[in-house]
Amino acid sequence: CAVLVVQAACRDAIVTQELLKEGFHRDLLVKVELGAVGEDAGGCAVAARARLPPGIYVDPYELASLQQHNLTKAVLIPDVIDVEAPEYLATNLLVLLYMEPDPRCSRCFRAALPVHGRYHRPAEESEEALVVLKSPEVLVCCCDNRLSAECWKPAEVEAPCSGQTVGPCQWYSVTHKLAYEESILQVPVGLRQHGSFVCVVTLLTTVLCSGLILAAVCKYGHFS
């Protein structure tokens, strides 16, 4: 009977992940509905730990601006990111995204984070590269220690609870069901057979613009 009670109490959380907008610049929307903290999750901090593949990244400068205006809160690992690197020279990125309570549901949380696709190598046929984004891990910490040891296991996270000013906190990993196993980002790429044409057009454009700048300098410049 005890086993049945524990299994009934350990209801999985439900995780939904969406990529909004089109093209290189998207918004990652994560929604979580907790299932094992009772009817009210007040006092609990919830975060989504996502591992981003090399084909997608978060701009740390954009994130700092959003956090300054309290529009989102996240921790990047590593915190130094080369935003100009192409996909084949980039590395994986770990993001801890703090989530906000959903006012329409006492056990629901959500958060959005701007993400960007990296440039890929030119392709032979397809004009799109596919970047597969796995579903994030759900982490929870509660101030009153209401978490069930049978349901959730301690997680190694070196980050404070959202809103906590001093001292570390113990995060717990939540077992969850996925609305979708993964999300796919379609990134536009060039075709190899267009390489010569692109080089010629780029060279002609550079020569033309340089000529116009030189002509303007000669006509309007003041030389001593």
* pLDDT at position 5: 32
Percentage of the chain with pLDDT > 70? 74
97 and 44 together in one domain? yes
How far is 102 from 24, CA to CA, in rounded Å? 28
212 and 162 together in one domain? no
> Hey, what amino acid is at 5?
V
* pLDDT at position 197: 66
156 and 219 together in one domain? no
Coil, strand or helix at 30: strand
172's tokens = 């717990």
Stated pTM of the model = 0.74
Residue 203 domain boundaries: 191-223
Task: Indicate the number of domains in the chain.
Answer: 2
Of 19-28, 81-90, 175-184, least confident by mean pLDDT is 175-184
**Are 37 and 107 spatial neighbours (Cβ–Cβ below 8 Å)?**
yes
104 and 122 together in one domain? yes
Residue 4 maps to a domain:
no
216 and 108 together in one domain? no
